[in-house]
Structure 1
Amino acid sequence: MELPSRHPVLVTAIATFMISVPLMSCRDAAVVKPIPDYAQLGPVEKEVASDISPVRIVARPESWPGAKAIQFKTTPVHLKIDNRSKTALLIRYSDFKVRAAPTGNEFSALPVFPIEAKDRGPVVPGTLPMLTPVAYPPIVDPEFGFRDFHVAPYLKPLYPTVPAHEGPFPHDESYNPRHSIYWQGSDLPSLEMMRRALPEGVLNPGGWVAGWLYFQKFEPLPAGTLIVSLTDTSGRALTPARVPIQAH
């Protein structure tokens, strides 16, 4: 969807590098399981939240808490988006890129979710993963955190315990098929990657969502800029946020 102009919404972007953070710290501080009782804000709370800072983004390429083997094929980055604006935001993989330093090469967020409904069998090592709802069992205990966040409609079968967005979800339907080719010849994405991933969806006013994005493996250690180009559900694009990622 082409948009003629960027909506001048302030985005606060914060990046920290925590390569030596203990695994327990990562899980407790950033990747928390959904809490149903903390899923909604009241009207007064939303109004107060929206007056603080419209959108806050924190990107942390910290130690991956799962199986280390995936780091030979992909660069995982933990991301948290806090929506304090008055409009709902679309969270789509096509809106996230990493510009590596010093080469300037850009890498798009890699899909790890279903791209079609047709059953083409389970993932087989050495073949192109079939990212379908049938290829993977439903994720009833996802390991991403959220409040006032609904997954994209096409992800509803995959996340039976997470609310799904019921309205339109405009997105590039060719994005996932194009970029999933990167996984060809590997047994990735793994179920662990999917459970920890930041899913596509709609982030409502006063809400936040936190999870992992995966990018093409690049060296040296993650250094460069995370470029986030969000759009609200009315079709207005926010000013792109450029989050510096430095290896210390």
Structure 2
Amino acid sequence: MRAPMPTAAALFILTGCVATPELRPSPGAQVLQGDANAAKAATDGIVLVADGTAWKGTPKNLERSFTPVYIQVENRGDRPVRIEYGAFSLVGTVSRFRYAALPPLSLNDTLNSVQQGTGGSGSAAGFSSGWGLGRYRRFGVGSYMGPFFPDPYYYGYQCQEPLPTQDMLQKALPEGTLEPGGTMTGFLYFQGVGHREGQVVLQARLVDAESGEPLGTLDIPFQVRKG
């Protein structure tokens, strides 16, 4: 007797055909020449570049649980800049809800996964323009500090392997002090926005690493597209 053909719903579940949200620069964003997926903003000698499509590591379906954004911060000014996760957020254009950037080592607690991540692609994601590292005092990838309000959709589309993976830790933006003339790149992992927002703004509120004085706020608008 022939086995019954699987239904469309069963195929959907088995293959994991869930739309994967991506951030693309909104109309009016200052898009990088030669890279339509990345946009930039600048103030007082600080240049922020961001790409919401750059994740190519393990897990491949990370965007179903979190929103990874690859950024570069370049300090062309004369004051040291403090780089920390609390300075970055995604703000819903309509909801005005602020989605936090999560320290990578907190992701295992967030999704009840084991402490040690697995998986490594051996490849590094980056922008087509080719960015290098500069003067930077590294503090590390950080531990979880502060409350986390999870997206209720997380638990339907979790990655199947424990988080964070080695790729996520190795490619994360480290916290520390970016000295004048320096450049730092890496991924920020935000609370998922794909099932709540149609447009968001990446916001960076940077301060002087020595005095704590605000250096300005950088905004880059993005559209949320479901691939």
TM-score (norm 1): 0.57
Superposed, 1:114-153 pairs within 5 Å as: 127=112, 129-130=114-115, 135=116, 143=124, 146-152=133-139
Where does residue 233 of structure 1 map in the other structure? 209
Q: 1:61 aligns with which of 52, 58, 63?
A: 52
**Is the Cα–Cα contact under 8 Å of residues 14 and 56 in structure 1 kept in the other structure?**
no
The count of residues paired between Structure 1 and Structure 2 equals 174
Q: Which moved more, 1:190-199 or 1:89-98?
A: 190-199
**Is the Cα–Cα contact under 8 Å of residues 129 and 188 in structure 1 kept in the other structure?**
yes
CA distance in 2, matches of 1:181, 1:128: 17
Where does residue 246 of structure 1 map in the other structure? 223
Structure 1 unaligned blocks of 5 or more: 1-12, 27-52, 116-122, 159-172
Percent identical pairs in the alignment equals 24
Residue 178 of structure 1, CA deviation = 3.0
Question: Aligned pair in 2 of structure 1 residues 83, 72: CA closer, same or farther (>3 Å)?
Answer: same
Structure with the larger strand share = 2
CA distance in 1, matches of 2:73, 2:60: 25
Superposed, 1:28-67 pairs within 5 Å as: 54-66=45-57, 67=59
Structure 2 unaligned blocks of 5 or more: 1-28, 39-43, 127-131
Q: 2:169 aligns with which of 194, 197, 207?
A: 194
SS of 2:178's equivalent in the other structure is: strand
Q: 1:71 aligns with which of 47, 63, 66?
A: 63
Aligned-pair Cα RMSD in Å: 4.0
CA distance in 2, matches of 1:109, 1:125: 13
Where does residue 13 of structure 2 map in the other structure? none
TM-score (norm 2): 0.61
Larger Rg: 2
Where does residue 212 of structure 1 map in the other structure? 187
Residue 219 of structure 1, CA deviation = 1.9
CA distance in 2, matches of 1:211, 1:100: 22
Structure with the larger helix share = 1
